[in-house]
Amino acid sequence: MHRVLLLLLASALGVPVARGEEDIPAAKGSSPPLLRGSVGGIRAVKPPPPAPVGVATDSKPPVQTMTAERMGNDGIAAFQSGNFEGAKEAYERVLKVEPNNLPALVNLGAAEFRLGHNDEAERLLRRSLQIKADNPTAWLNLSIIYLQRNEPMRALAAAAQAVVHAPNDPVARNYLGVAAGRNRWFDAAEAELRRSVELKPDYADAHFNLAVFCLERVPPATELAKRHYREARRLGAAPDPLIEKAIGQQAAD
């Protein structure tokens, strides 16, 4: 039943629906928790490698393709160094040469997000999905934007699409868990976060989020929350006074 509801939700939001969404059960819980990984984790993607010399891939002149590739690499370097304005300029130059360059569209959206331009970031990501609807990075980035806007239903639909197209991506599973939790579907949130740490046992954010949702159980699963919180701290997560109060101060040691 819940799978049908999720499909209907995605359709109502104008989201192209792919097959394979997992069932998301209803869950009990009260106030939405504060979670890790819901803001700022938006991804940039590297462009695909160039085709071998002598192999025609499309009608663009070779010089034009290499120019776009070089500018795209400049954008990646700028993004990775934290120069998001420089990344934006590089990807805008790519799109002047190749208006439908998918990595440039996704990465320009990521740069716009980091610059605080969420509406423009959403527009670019949706444009990229109109060209190629099975891009998990674009779906994941859309989910992060919707989480920051406090639009949990949209975040859930986008994160579900990211997981459909990249089922073994622990980051996508983490954000699907976060989005499910923001919709107060705590059983589903825990299930996705457990899958995330199965895929990546040293994923601090997922352990932290599991601790949060364990405390949302009725009654709270304090010992399990303590275990995941300690693991998150061991992996470098910052301390959280509210969680430490809930599970006992000794868990921070």
Write down the domain spans for the chain.
2-54+61-252
Contacts of residues 134-139 at CB distance under 8 Å and 24 or more positions apart, as own/partner, are 134/18, 134/165, 135/102, 135/106, 135/165, 136/161, 136/162, 136/163, 136/164, 136/165, 136/166, 136/169, 136/172, 137/43, 137/45, 137/106, 137/162, 138/106, 138/109, 139/165, 139/172
* Residues of the chain predicted below pLDDT 70: 1-66, 249-253
Q: What is the pTM of this model?
A: 0.75
The correct answer on CATH 1.25.40.10 for the domain covering 2-54+61-252 is yes
The predicted structure's pLDDT at residue 69: 76
The predicted structure's pLDDT at residue 49: 38
